[in-house]
Amino acid sequence: MLQGMAAGVGAAVGSTVSPRFAQAAATSTGVPRRIIFFMQNQGFDPATCIPKGMTSSGSLAKARLPEPIEALEPYKERLHIINGLHGLHTSPSHSAFFGALGGYRGSDGVPPSASTIDYELSRVLPQTLLPHLCIGMDSIENMTTKPTIATLSASGAGQPIFMHSNPNHLYQMLYGGISTGDIRLQHEARSTVLTQIEELAAAKGRSLPTADRQRYGQYVQGFENVNGLRDRLATVSDHLRKFAPEVDERYSRPEFETDWHDILLDLGVSALTSGITNTLTVGSGRGEIFGAWKGLGIEEQGHNLGHMKQPDNPIWIKIRQYNSRMLVKTMEALESVPEGSGTMMDHTLIVYTSNNADKQHTTGANWPVMLLGNFDGAFKTGCFTQLDGKRPINALFATLMHAAGQNVERFNMNEKLARKFDASTGPLREVLA
């Protein structure tokens, strides 16, 4: 029973579903904005996204996208490829873990030293019932035995945000209140148990020593957040019915891990289109060196994939093409929902990169990024930008905050660190419209 509840409670610790909402950030058109981070493990080799022959900044209009991302060809005018950022200070090696979105030193098993950019944006974007949702994709075995894991996002120092990897748990959390049959029964039973545990935990926690009481209180708050989210979702049940994905056999009997990858993405996108959340973080590989794609006919998995060169590799071409199709699916879903004078996609930005810079065992000297969408006109699109390698990924994060209306000169980088790793200050003017 406790293992089954882990997805709900784990996601709450770190204020993921905190009832405290930030002030909404209005756009020039008065429509809400949203952002998606798609983090691929094992690195993102620039040769898999930069058109051949392009060595300097320019338009993508006459360029042909490389085979790994060819699915994005019809959306080329919405694409911005950025090469030449660095993450040397994150010491990524196998992965930068929390440092990939935090812009600080990260390592396996090391807690976050500050909040990450996805969480910070969720606080300044328009308020939603669930400010920040994280989903993680891995092998079916890992997603089953560890339905939640925290490696990429954080709400502060020592405060990781857990990502959901079991779609059954996530569906129950988001749509259990509007379901029928077994899903509804499980949702109600879980709700009763969680409420009882919250009451019991709060009572017992008062008798603990002060130091333990504070730490224990985080878990009590986690139960309160889950129960509070459930109540808030119940108030918009009629609205949610329009967006809840259909439950099929892939939930209970997935043939391959990609079945769960696909429906996790469906759930994440539905949370965006329904307005439950404004910030979605997708961990393809869950920020680790693992990951599996047997559903694509790839038998190799995990660490071994990282020892294969990505350019012109049929295995990595399949993985990157699969990711590109996921990006297209997300854009199509957002395009289908009218918003303001356009669609949801007009006010959305997708950030695709890796938690491991350009490759496994990387130094972080080059950290390629793809942007899709313009965030209500904030970013240039249809182009390639080649930077000189002297600005860190923190500069991109400061740019994202700037586009969200926050005047941020640096993100998670003090003056001492900046003197060594950043040649300038403020946002990346090269990528802003």
- pLDDT, one tens digit per residue, over 187-238 is 555 655 556 665 666 666 566 666 666 656 655 555 556 656 777 777 777 8
How far are the Cα atoms of 138, 163, 176, 246 from residue 249, in angstroms, in the given order? Answer: 19, 23, 17, 10
Residue 164: predicted pLDDT: 93
Distance CA 297, CA 312 (A): 17
**pLDDT confidence bin for 380, thresholds 50/70/90:** very high
Q: Structure pTM?
A: 0.88
Residue 219: predicted pLDDT: 58
For the chain, what are the domain ranges?
Answer: 20-168+256-421
- Structure confidence by residue, pLDDT tens digits, 283-317: 999 999 889 999 999 999 988 898 899 999 999 99
Given a cut of 80, whether residue 61 has pLDDT beyond it is: yes
Decide if domain 20-168+256-421 falls under CATH 1.20.144.
Answer: no
- In 87-240, at which residue ranges do the beta strands (DSSP E only) sit? 133-137, 148-156, 159-164
CA angle 27, 31, 36 (to 5 degrees): 85
From the list 280, 191, 179, the residue with the least C-alpha distance to 237 is: 179
Average model confidence (pLDDT) across the chain: 86
Average pLDDT over residues 254-282: 96
Residue 127: predicted pLDDT: 83
Residue 393: predicted pLDDT: 98
DSSP 373: S
Query: Hey, is 411 helix, strand or coil?
Result: coil
If one compares 198 and 139, the residue with the highest pLDDT of the two is 139
Q: Which of 36-50, 177-191, 274-288, 317-331 has the lowest mean pLDDT?
A: 177-191
Distance CA 56, CA 36 (A): 27
Average pLDDT over residues 89-113: 94
Residue 239: predicted pLDDT: 84
Distance CA 244, CA 267 (A): 8
Average pLDDT over residues 366-391: 97
Average pLDDT over residues 101-105: 97
Q: What percent of the chain has pLDDT over 90?
A: 70
